[in-house]
Copies of this chain bind each other. A is one copy, B any other.
Amino acid sequence: MREVIVLGAGMTQFGNSDLSQKEMFAQAAIEALEDGQVKARDLQALFIGNVLGGFEEGQINIAPFLASEIGMPMNAPATRFEGACASATVAIRHGVLLVASGVYDLVMVGGTERTTIMGTALATRTFAMGSHSEYERFAGITFPAVFGMAAHLYAHKYGIPLDQLKRSMALVAVKNHHNGTLNPLAHFRKEITVDTVLEGPMIADPLQLYDCCPFSDGAAALVIGAAEKFRAHVSKPITVAGVGQGSAGAIYAHRDITRVRARETSIKEAYRQAGIGPDDVDVCELHDCFTIAEIMAVEGLGFFEFGQGAAAVDRGDTALDGKIPINPSGGLKAKGHPIGATGAAQTYEIVKQLRGECGDRQVEGAKIGVVDTLGGDFSTLCNLVLRRN
């Protein structure tokens, strides 16, 4: 397989947008093209994540229209991937694999989503379609409920008093909001405190409002290509050193929802391809859809032992200047979560971090970064390992 590099990256402001999904994507894509000094007419294919375009804007089959919107060659293949919140990362993985295998030399990957048009209540119910429609959703399960249960189970399993765990969870939110203040493209750019979280409205016990990420509008895009053809083309090429993807059935089939086995399989494969282990990782953007999700993810990715994720947050190990900085962008929690675009935005952040272009939120000397994106209630998981050359 050939080495695959990221030539360019682009991302819109996250938040509430008046732009359509196509317009947002075009904005991110044009930035990525300019960043990579590539012309749209030279792109050979498009791989795009989009989850609920049909519900949001009455648009399915969006990929060819996005390709057309940015001036890609008439007839170039354009493909939509949908794996709930992991959609864009799944799209990127397939783009990477098809460049690595020689099918394409230069492609665009990314995601776009306009969630706020629904309003939060309808969006929550609509997003719940990512869980199993026969066994889960009709039982009243929404994603906040699933992660609320996971938090209770986590506290029970590891013998952590719930109030103590809630404080650790609040610290995740405080950290990610802090990071968000340093990211001009973040949805939320305000500091919060532990009290902000613990005094917030209850959403799904023990998750309170500030334990939950928002719904956002946004898009992100990357130009990737074969290193053998394009390495000299850009000054700071970033290599996609490993990719992984995993799946799981409905949550009733999970023995223990505090461990996402699909993640463990996926990241293991990505590490293997990259020839690294978790200790080699300098920075990580992971799926903090809820604060407990970040605590579970830092364990699943191998950064801390199982049951030690909350303590790691307490110690500040996941802060910008910690042992392994997690979600320097602000994460889904503060940067925002336009579901089908999230994986592409995570990848954008890692690319910028590895290039050293992140200003006040820069993780000093970062050479290896990991992307981690979860779709549904643990049913789709996708990882990327990126490396600075």
**Chain A residues near B (Cβ < 8 Å):** 1, 20, 22, 46, 51-52, 54-55, 57-61, 63-65, 67-69, 74-84, 90, 94, 97-98, 100-103, 126, 129-134, 137, 245-250, 253, 261-262, 264-266, 375-376, 379-380
Contacts and interface: CB of A to CB of B under 8 A. Distances in A.
Given A60-B52, A248-B74, A375-B61, A97 B101 contact: yes
Contacts of A77: 245-247, 266
Contacts of A63: 83, 247, 380
A75 B81 CA distance: 18
Contacts of A60: 51-52, 82, 84, 129-130
Closest 3 CB pairs of A and B: A68-B249, A101-B101, A64-B247
Contacts of A80: 81-83
A54 B247 contact: no
Contacts of A68: 247-250, 253
Nearest to A130: B61
Given A61-B380, A376-B61, A76 B247 contact: yes
Given A77-B245, A77-B247, 14 more contacts: A58-B133, A59-B129, A60-B82, A61-B82, A61-B129, A61-B379, A63-B380, A67-B247, A68-B247, A74-B248, A75-B261, A77-B246, A81-B81, A100-B101
Contacts of A69: 249
A75 B129 contact: no
A266 to B, nearest CB: 7
A379 B72 CA distance: 13
Contacts of A78: 247, 380
Contact of A262 (B75, B137, B379, B380): B75
Given A52-B60, A103-B97, A81 B79 contact: yes
A102 B2 CA distance: 12
A326 to B, nearest CB: 23
A68 B132 CA distance: 11
A60 to B, nearest CB: 5
Contacts of A133: 57-59
Contacts of A245: 77, 79
A63 B380 CA distance: 9
